[in-house]
Amino acid sequence: MEEKLEYPYQHRDINWLSFNDRVLQEAADESNPLYERLKFVAIFSSNLDEYFRVRVSQLRQLKRVDKSLRKKLVLKPTKFVKQILAKVGEQQNRLGDIFFDDIVPQLADHNIHLLDKNQVAGRFINEATAYFKEHLQDIVKTKYVQASKTSDIFLENQHLYLIVTFENEKHYGVVNIPSQDHKRFIELASNDDKHYIVFLDDVIKSQLDQLFPDEIITGRYSVKLSRDAELYIDQELDGDLADRIYASLGQRQQGQPTRFLYDEDMPKEVKRNLRKSLALGKIDMVPGGTYHNFDDFFGFPDPTNNEKLHAQPLKTIRHRSLDDSSSYFPIIKKRDQLVHFPFMSFDYVQRFIDQSATDPDVVEIKISLYRVADESALTDSLLTALKNGKKVTVFVEAKARFDEENNIKWGRIFEEHGARVIYSYPRIKVHSKVMLVLRKEKEKLKRYAYIGTGNFNAKTSKIYCDHGLFTADKNITKDLKRVFEVLQGELIIPRAQHLLISPFTTRRTFEDLIRKEIESARAGKPAAIIAKMNQLEDPGMINLLYQASQAGVTIRLLVRGFTCLVPGIKDMSENIMMTSIVDRFLEHGRIYKFHNNGEPLMFMGSADWMSRNLDRRIEVLAPIYDDLVFKELDDILELQLQDNVKARIHTTQEDNPYVQDDQESLRSQDAIYQYLKDIHKS
């Protein structure tokens, strides 16, 4: 069959909204415990905020490009932003229906009553007034602004405010809702086992007459302004990049507005004045409901302590080889070991670092940190290693968005205690999750490695599904040594023979492996690719997948987030089946498997098939050489491919239909947990 040369692509930012749709499906799913549904409400809101601050902001930056150049480059940022706003509007309406018409009544059925503003200002006004006087009056601030298009008004990034209108139309009142300094949800009263909870916003609304005693109030409207999250730093300037990043973090509070979320009942004249005063375009104005920042539902209280309203906690699985061992080194030396989060505890990684810090034969530890936990046993162990005279090298990614400040803080702490700390490089991020330990054994240095799909972060390990490989394989650890030599500025090209290392060998190796499957299919031999990742965006990889499909290669993709590939097109991508699993835990592992003429190859690591992961980041993926580890990952992949409960199909319409087949119901995260329990006899 002749290959088609023009391939279809979905716009990544439009397609990302389909991923958030899947999150919304989980919020609507009545089979989920009620507080799990609230968690997905919060995730949906949090995702959307970051999306506007990062992706929509970048689209807005394209508008600054000269119009004639935009036309040549086929850039249509305004068109895409309009499509985004239309889709987001639909999603927000669905969110409102799910929350107010379904979740809130079900909370009431369990004696948890979320009061509205009228109930607070009426039946519960005495409780609201007492609470305000005791807890809020010193942190709630008011300000008058002129009701004009040039009024002096500044709204802090992501903070909540009330715009108050008066009978005197010459000015407005601006009132902060201090949710950064105070809990968003307040239990105002309880009786007869009934609990009455209220938004912080509504307690403040009930006191507006006291806050503006000389005014007749005609309206009160919630607003929130999101600002560009990018730090615009010239990374080629001389000087310390980390210092410049740290000094520039305040830009986020002053950045260009990307979304003004307002109560849709706000009068047109007020909206017009605010838009002009805040230097917003019409496209920046996004109507919403009475309440914003639904990500605060991560902290919604349960005064009933009803276990049935929550997901049941998992009993962590004990690793069959590592759990009772006081030293991992002989175990890892004997054969590779694999750990899985959140089904297993992140303590296995922390213990390995702790053992390395205290083992008298360990001489050096090298580690790359992308998102450093604020306080953790891991950071304590690294400080212990320094105290015990170990040589410690830490690469800290100072450009990890929203974690810059904490990462740089810890980098400086490590430096103060004697570590060699290397910060970000210009124009490239270090996204790999790797550690190398050098141990003296029989007068020689033996290398031990950890290569993961997720960050060295105990907190996120409880909510992200990730895998971590411990290995002492000479070939893998030799390549990893070269990775750290690149990070330390001692090598330019690592010349790896086994590891896939971006931006050096990952793209070329994956392209060669896909082409090999194409050759097999054309020769009439079995050919297959299974790939699990977070996002699929790189045009080169997508083109090859289209070509592989046309050649007859069976392609099975698990893509949790957005994809630019369009599956299921006749004579183009009909051999590509792509699903997405959204469930209790965030699928985060990256695993790639190739049939390879009956001698399958598998890789696991930190890189998605995105241009940034292949070309603009330091990424590491490990080949799976150990037979038991290979089988373990392969079995896990197979369970995810069989998911027909929480898996949705990526279709040409991206309408997120659930997988439906005639097989017995299989929810892969539950099945994987049971599988790991069985093989580890936990």
- Tell me the binding residues for ATP: 47, 464, 560, 588
- On the CB side of 608, how many CA atoms lie within 13 Å of its CA? 20
Residues 71-108 as b/e (b if ≥16 CB within 10 A, e otherwise) read eeeebebeebbeebbeebeebbebbeebbeeebeeebe
Q: Which residues are annotated as a binding site?
A: 47, 371, 401, 464, 560, 588
Radius of gyration, alpha carbons of the chain: 27
The residue behind tokens 């938004």 is: 199
Neighbours of 505 (CB within 10 A): 20
Asked if omega into 213 is within 30° of 0 (cis), the reply is: no
- Selecting among 113, 195, 292, 431, the annotated active-site residue is 431
Hey, what are 676's tokens? 């790991």
Residue 291 is classified by DSSP as -
Angle at 114 between CA 261 and CA 182, to 5 degrees: 60
* Single-letter amino acid, residue 591: I
Supply 369's token pair: 């940190």
Known catalytic membership, residue 431 = yes
d(CA 604, CA 468): 9
Q: Is 354 helix (H, G, I), strand (E, B) or coil?
A: helix
> Would you give the distance in Å from CA 24 to the centre of its chain?
16
Give the Cα separation of 663 and 643 in Å (integer).
10
- Ramachandran angles phi, psi of 196, nearest 5°: -115, 115
Q: What is the DSSP string of 558-605?
A: EESS-B-B----TTTTTTEEEEEE-SSSEE--EEEEE-GGGS-EEEEE
| E strands, 98-139, in order | 112-114
The three-class DSSP label of residue 206 is: coil
Question: Annotated binding site for Mg(2+), which residues?
Answer: 371, 401
> Degrees (nearest 5) of the Cα angle 239, 232, 280?
155
Q: In which order are the strands placed within the sheet that holds 112-114? A: 112-114, 194-199, 185-191
CB atoms within 10 A of CB 577: 17
Active-site residues, by number, are 431
